[in-house]
Structures are given as structure tokens and as C-alpha cells.
Amino acid sequence: MKSGFVMLAGRSNVGKSTLLNALIGTKVSIVSPKPQTTRHPIRGILHDARGQLVFVDTPGVFLGRKDRVSTTLNEFVHETLDGVDAVIYVMDPSRDIGAEELYIQNLLRQIKVPVIALINKMDLPESERSFTETYRAVDVGQSQNFELSAINRKNLNRLIDVLFTLSQNGDAHYPDLQLTDIGHNQWLEELIREKIFLNLNEELPYSIKVSLDELETRPDGSRYIAASIWTTDERYKRMIIGAKAQMLKKIGAAARNELEHVTGTKIFLELTVKVDPKWQERFV
């Protein structure tokens, strides 16, 4: 049996979370068009007749940021490079190479594990992939080059085949039915946070936190969930709530609908928006 750890590396918003979800076959990491939405290291676990692959979805690099969250995330990216069997370097052909990209490339050139250079988002029209040739020329000492679309899963099976060849013989690290190491409560928090980003997009800064306050299964089988949305400023609170609380209702409805679809049970979701300029110290 093969058993391997694979790190997904790349700057923010190149599609690492979408790729992870596609590899596992279900949502284990939140997806948003807003950069830097992945805050926690998420492990997705792929079970196969050949063995088990554990994928680590890392946050994007936060260059130039000195806040508590950014510092913690950057430290994690460096620490995760120890103990992995392969690194998938994910690139976005719709964006030119910038300082973050160069920083990551320099880091990858220094590691000793195999690197797979992967150009994602190949489902985009050619007119929107204007930097494809630039990324095809990237050299970080990679052992393989891939071009695929995480959304339509093109070339995904071929990538998995290569990753198993790079993995070591060994026992599985997780039980057969486990698809992620993220706890249920944290998954609920992340799903709500995803809906906030999807509905507010560029209007909201990335530094928000959702905390689960109460989770109750009622006698009729339905579930009551109460959660707090933490932000740093009153103006962001007003933005999340919206006129006549319409935005908060929209966010809550989107989260509730997905939760009901996933769990098959009736969900009652109560969201409260709170302001704390120092929430990062509270939760990090």
C-alpha cells in the first residue's frame, strides 16, 4: 500500500481549494473568488485501491502583512514543507507573475522533495489565459508539468497516478471513511465564512472570523446552529448586515441551504455580527 503527503502551494486565489475539493471528490475547503480566504491548513484525504494520499491545502503567502493572522500563516507554509512527499505548485495563467509568485518560486527551488508545476484554470477562454506561456517557462526544478482545470477535472486522474508513484510504501494515516481532518464545528464555521465572501466579494476585507456558539439537535431531528461573525470595524458590520438586514439574511439562507443539502436535515441558523478590533488575538 502507498501512503503519501502532498502539499498544495501557490499564491492566493490560484484555485488550490477548488483543486483540493476536486481531488477528494467533495467539499473540504471553502472556495471564494476573494484572495486569502483559506485561513486554516486543511487536510483532504484521498482513498484509492493503491493506498492513501493526504493533501494539505495551505493559505496563500501574505507578503507585506505584519498582523497576527498573516504571520501565523506564513510560518505554517514554511513548516508544512517538512515531511511531505511531493509539492504541487499551483499557478493561475490569468495573472502575471508578481512578488508573491517569485517568493514562492524561490522557496520551492530550495526544497528537496519532488515538485509538480501545475497550471490551473485551463477551462478559461484563451483570451483570459494571457500568461500561459509565461508559466510554461517557469523552472523551479519540477519533476513534472501539468495543465488542467480543477473545475472540469480534466487531467485530474493522470495527476493522481503520478502522485502515487511519488508516494512511499506504508500504512494509511486515516480511517477509510475519513475525508478530512477538519472538525465538524470548524467545517460549519468555514462554510458560513465562505458564504460571506461569495456574497460580499471585494467589498469585505479577508480578516473576518466565524465562531460557532451553539449546536443543538432537536427532538424532531432538526438542528439549531447559532454562530457569530467577527469583524474589526463597525462599517464592516453594517456591510455584512446590509439594509434592513437583507445581506445577513442572504448569507444565512445560502449557508442553511447547503447545510440542509449536505446533512439531509432541517437547519435553523442564527447569525450575529460582532465587532472586535483585536479578534485576531482572541482566536489565533
What is the pLDDT, as a whole number, of residue 108?
85
d(CA 116, CA 25): 21
What is the pLDDT, as a whole number, of residue 203?
62
- Other beta carbons within 10 angstroms of residue 209's beta carbon come to 20
Q: pTM for the whole thing?
A: 0.68
What is the pLDDT, as a whole number, of residue 30?
57
What is the pLDDT, as a whole number, of residue 177?
63
Mean pLDDT score of the chain: 82
Helix axes 184-200, 234-241, angle to 10 degrees: 90
What is the pLDDT, as a whole number, of residue 125?
94
What is the pLDDT, as a whole number, of residue 59?
62
Q: How is the chain split among helix, strand and coil, in percent rounded to 5?
A: 35, 25, 40
Please name each of the domains of the chain with its CATH number.
2-169 (3.40.50.300), 184-283 (3.30.300.20)
Per-residue pLDDT of the chain (284 residues; tens, 9 = 90+): 898 889 888 887 788 888 988 888 776 665 544 444 444 456 788 888 899 998 887 765 444 444 444 444 445 445 555 678 899 999 999 999 988 888 888 888 888 889 999 999 999 999 999 999 999 999 999 999 999 999 888 889 999 999 999 988 888 887 776 777 666 787 788 888 888 888 886 666 556 888 999 989 899 989 999 999 998 889 889 989 999 999 999 999 999 988 887 777 899 999 999 998 887 776 65
**Is 177 in contact with 152 (CB distance < 8 Å)?**
no
**Is 111 in contact with 81 (CB distance < 8 Å)?**
yes
Question: Residue 133 corresponds to which cell in the numbers above?
Answer: 506561456
